[in-house]
Amino acid sequence: MFGQEVKTKKKKDNTREGTATFYVLATNEAVKHGDYQIKAYTGKRVLLKGTYSNNKKVGLWTEQYYDRDYTGPKATGNYENDIKTGDWTYFNYEGEKVIIYNWTDNKVVFSKLCGTDTKEYTVIEDSKESKSKLDCPPTCATGREYFLYEFMRDIGDQAKLFKEIGPKLYQLKTKISITIDKNSSVTDISYSTNENYELKEIIEKFVKSYKWIPGTKDGQKLTTKFEFSIGLSSQY
């Protein structure tokens, strides 16, 4: 296919936050091939931009946050044959670089919170929990903000599995603790409230789709907890 002209046709599709414009093979409309972008319904910002080759992501891709409170960079990095490669940079809501993760070497190149975060985190050692300040807090390869942004979007779609708190009003309001062991595996996900079993299965699948990084202290990886409070509600 390469080295010769490839005939494509332009397509559009509606996504959650904007209109996707992309190209597909003229001979097979199921195969994306060429530039791809999603433009927001409001403000016309480009939320996602990159390139497909034979239905696989290649080259530089960029993402932007978009909601009522914040519009700005979210992530940027390269794909080869649909696989993230090299350094990817992830941003917080203030547009600051929070983490640079090298997907080829599977290692953190830079973390804004290392050496600057003064919070205490839950550390588990010999089955006992304690609170401690860390050199680097537990996080995921995309950074905390990126993960929570996607969590709110994806899990928010499961509102009918939330607790019903009024006529056709559903709410998920809880504190979630993700235990990350020294080998970067998620070994436990717990909640401060009792939640629907099916919802917890969906959350577990979502959490385990991310690459996790344990907290460190004095150069040692520790079994630590990544914790966050969530408040989602929806009316049907």
Position 7, amino acid: K
Q: What span, in angstroms and rounded, lies between the C-alpha atoms of 203 and 197?
A: 10
Q: For the chain, first and last CA: distance in Å?
A: 48
> Are 8 and 58 in the same domain?
yes
DSSP 120-138: EEEEEETTEEEEEE-SB--
Q: What is the predicted pLDDT for the residue at 6? A: 86
> Are 210 and 101 in the same domain?
no
Radius of gyration of the chain (CA): 20
Which pLDDT tens digit goes with each residue over 20-71?
A: 999 999 999 999 999 999 999 987 789 999 999 999 999 999 999 987 778 8
> Domain boundary residue among 85, 112, 139?
112
Give the Å distances, CA to CA, from 170 to 104, 145, 157, 199: 41, 24, 11, 13
> Are 106 and 194 in the same domain?
no
* Residue numbers of the domain that contains 81: 1-112
Q: What span, in angstroms and rounded, lies between the C-alpha atoms of 139 and 225?
A: 9
96: CATH: 2.20.110
> Are 211 and 121 in the same domain?
yes
> Domain boundary residue among 93, 112, 131?
112
pLDDT band at 4 (very low <50, low <70, confident <90, very high): low
Q: What span, in angstroms and rounded, lies between the C-alpha atoms of 31 and 213?
A: 35
Q: What span, in angstroms and rounded, lies between the C-alpha atoms of 159 and 133?
A: 35
Tokens of 160: 């009918």
> Are 101 and 120 in the same domain?
no
Give the Å distances, CA to CA, from 67 to 19, 34, 42, 84, 143: 15, 28, 10, 26, 18
Q: What span, in angstroms and rounded, lies between the C-alpha atoms of 232 and 176?
A: 13
Which pLDDT tens digit goes with each residue over 127-160?
A: 999 999 999 999 999 999 999 999 999 999 999 9
Burial 71-91 (b: 16+ CB within 10 A, else e): bebbbbbbbeeeebeebbbbb
> Domain boundary residue among 59, 90, 112?
112
> Are 92 and 148 in the same domain?
no
Which pLDDT tens digit goes with each residue over 156-168?
A: 999 999 999 988 8
> Are 133 and 233 in the same domain?
yes
> Are 104 and 208 in the same domain?
no
> Are 128 and 209 in the same domain?
yes
Bridge partners for 191 per DSSP = 176
Q: How much is the pTM?
A: 0.92
> Are 4 and 93 in the same domain?
yes
**Domains of the chain: total:** 2
**Angle CA(179)–CA(184)–CA(189) in degrees, nearest 5?**
25
Instruction: Give the three-class secondary structure for 200.
Output: helix
> Are 37 and 102 in the same domain?
yes
